[in-house]
Structure formats: structure tokens, C-alpha cells
Amino acid sequence: MNNPVEKLPTLSDQLKVRSLEVKGAEGPLSARLYTSGDAGPKRDTLLVFFHAGGFVGGDLEDADLFLRHMADDSQHVAVLASAYTLATEKPFPAAVEDAHAVLVWAKKNKAKLGWTGKQLLVAGIEAGANLAAVCALMSRDRGGPALGGQILIMPMLDPGLTTCSMRELQAPELLDVADACAKAYRGYLPNAADRTHPYASPLQSSRLKNLPPALILSTEDDPLRDEAEQYGAKLIGCGVKTTVRRMQPAPLNDAGARNECACRCQALGEIASFIAGLERSETPPAA
């Protein structure tokens, strides 16, 4: 039986959300910067986030509440949520090229973001988590920008839709999710040959070494569960420091309601702990 969604804490009065433009692969993209608390003029950690929507939909509003709580929970972290080119406008690799370009832009525009440039993280939900995982691959392959960590929340990583959880979960609302994933991939990857490209399907990549530490959050009753956990196992097998957490199920009102699972106290707590651990590892020992 599904557990009720946990009640989220009240947001602080110090939370600030600012709209801005960032640079994608082929032009400007809309974005939002979330900050909270009194961390001085600059923060050491910037987390770049990409929204859900199956590559064919979604926008900055979808994860707004989740990101407000994320920034409020980690007041020394700035969160930059960026749009990207949807497949309805241009299919693969437009979205991933945008995502990587946003990271490059962020590294070059630290002052605009109130960020020291010390630690850059990438994160996303569902299709956005695919882009985050691919950004880690692209940043390694292209010599930067260096990433301190990746946070993948219920990621879409397998265009083949071959996992047991994708094929065997039979509840009607979960079948809707599986159907929506299949439709999304048809839009994002109209060229069947692209479905095995590592920048489209990280789960199929044979080159997963030398990637940043990862936090992967799956959900018990979710068709995307197994591909998330299989990717975590592959990262661990390649020597990447990886934490995989399976969250309890949360109600899904429709196939696009991915953020309802993510915007929960459990997920927010896992993310805050992961970021704090990265920051501790960056801190030199006292003399």
C-alpha cells in the first residue's frame, strides 16, 4: 500500500528565487536561481538542476517547490534550475548539449550566481536525471567543467525499457508511466541507432570510470526503479563512490507526476546528507 506523502516543513523567510537567462548550446535558456539563508556574498557549492518531463515536456515550474525546499535545507548551496531544448523542438542530442553548455556557462559566470566556483554539482529528476548523468560523462570526456557530484532522482536511463520493474509492475497508473516513457523516447530518439549511444543511454555505457560521486534515488513502486539501481551497481563496479537509496512508494496521480515522489522529506534529507558529505571531503584536515 502506498504511504502518504510526508508533510514538508515551512519555507524560511530568507529563501530567494531569481529568474535569469543562461547560455545553452545554441542560444539563451530560461533559468531560476534559488538561495536561502545568510551564507555571505558567495556560496562554495552550486547545484545545477534539470527538470522532468520525459524530454518532450516539463518546465521550470514543475520542480519549483522541490527546489525551494532543497535550497532552504542546504542554505550554503545555490541551486540553478535550467530549461533545455525539448525533443518536440529538436531531438537528441540537443537537450544534452544544452545541459553541458549550461555547466560551462555557470563555471564562467560565477559572479552572476554568487558562487565561489569551488564545487559544482549536477542533478535532475527523471529525464532531467538522464541529462545530469550524461553531463557527468560529457564533462569527463570533454575535459570539464569538473563536477563534485551527481544526484539522479528516479532517472530515465534505459531507452530499451528492458528492466523487470518496467515490464512487470502492473498497476494501471504504473502502466501509464511505462507507456509515457516509451512515447517520450520515441520523441527524443527518433533515430533508433541513437538508443545505444552512451549520451542517450548511460546504462549502456561501457566507460563509467572516473566519474564524480553519485547519489541515486529510486522508488519502490516505480517502473524506473531497476534501471536506477542497475546504474548505481555499474558505477560502484567501476570504482565510482555511489550511494543508492530506494524510497518508499508515493502516490502518482498521473504518468507525469514524477516530482510528487521526489518532493518528500526522505529525498530531501538524502540529498542534504550527500551534499554535506561531499563538502566534508573537500575540507582539509585541521593542522
> Worst-scoring range by mean pLDDT, 95-109, 125-139, 167-181?
167-181
Please give the backbone phi and psi of residue 98, each rounded to the nearest 5 degrees, phi first: -60, -50
Handedness of CA 23, 87, 129, 260 (dihedral sign): positive
CA distances (Å), origin 127, targets 12, 156, 265? 29, 5, 22
Cβ atoms of 66 and 199 closer than 8 Å: no
For β-strands 242-247 and 16-23, DSSP reports them as unpaired
Cell of 193: 541507432
**Predicted pLDDT of residue 285:** 41
**Tally of domains within the chain:** 1
Looking at the chain, the whole-number percentage of residues with pLDDT higher than 90 is 69
**pLDDT grade, residue 281 (50/70/90)?**
confident
Whether residue 284 is contained in a domain is answered as: no
Pick the residue with more confidence: 133 or 192?
Answer: 133
Whether residue 282 is contained in a domain is answered as: no
Whether residue 8 is contained in a domain is answered as: no
**pLDDT grade, residue 110 (50/70/90)?**
very high
Whether residue 286 is contained in a domain is answered as: no
pLDDT tens sequence across 9-39: 688 888 999 999 999 999 999 999 999 987 6
Strands laid side by side in the 214-219 sheet: 16-23, 28-35, 77-82, 43-50, 115-125, 149-153, 214-219, 242-247
Pick the residue with more confidence: 253 or 229?
Answer: 229
For β-strands 77-82 and 28-35, DSSP reports them as antiparallel
**Predicted pLDDT of residue 257:** 53
Mean pLDDT of all residues in 196-200: 95
Q: What is the DSSP string of 20-46?
A: EEEE-SSSEEEEEEEE-S---S-EEEE
Cβ atoms of 242 and 216 closer than 8 Å: yes
**pLDDT grade, residue 4 (50/70/90)?**
very low
Whether residue 88 is contained in a domain is answered as: yes
Query: Is the pLDDT score of 151 beyond 90?
Result: yes
**Predicted pLDDT of residue 3:** 44
**Predicted pLDDT of residue 168:** 73
Pick the residue with more confidence: 258 or 108?
Answer: 108
Q: Give the Cα separation of 261 and 160 in Å (integer).
A: 23
**Predicted pLDDT of residue 17:** 96
**pLDDT grade, residue 8 (50/70/90)?**
low
| Average pLDDT of the residues of the chain | 88
Mean pLDDT of all residues in 134-146: 98
The whole model's pTM is what?
0.90
> In 10 A of CB 37, how many CB atoms?
16
Cβ atoms of 50 and 132 closer than 8 Å: yes
Query: Exposure string (b/e) for 126-149, b if CB count within 10 Å is 16 or more?
Result: bbbbbbbbbbbbbbbeeeebebbb
CATH of the domain at 25: 3.40.50.1820
**pLDDT grade, residue 260 (50/70/90)?**
low
**pLDDT grade, residue 252 (50/70/90)?**
low
Query: Is the pLDDT score of 246 beyond 90?
Result: yes
Helix (H) or strand (E) holding 84: none
**Predicted pLDDT of residue 264:** 66
Whether residue 285 is contained in a domain is answered as: no
**pLDDT grade, residue 221 (50/70/90)?**
confident
Q: Which domain holds residue 111?
A: 14-276
Whether residue 287 is contained in a domain is answered as: no
Whether residue 238 is contained in a domain is answered as: yes
Angle 286-38-266 from CA coordinates, rounded to 5°: 80
Helix (H) or strand (E) holding 123: strand 115-125
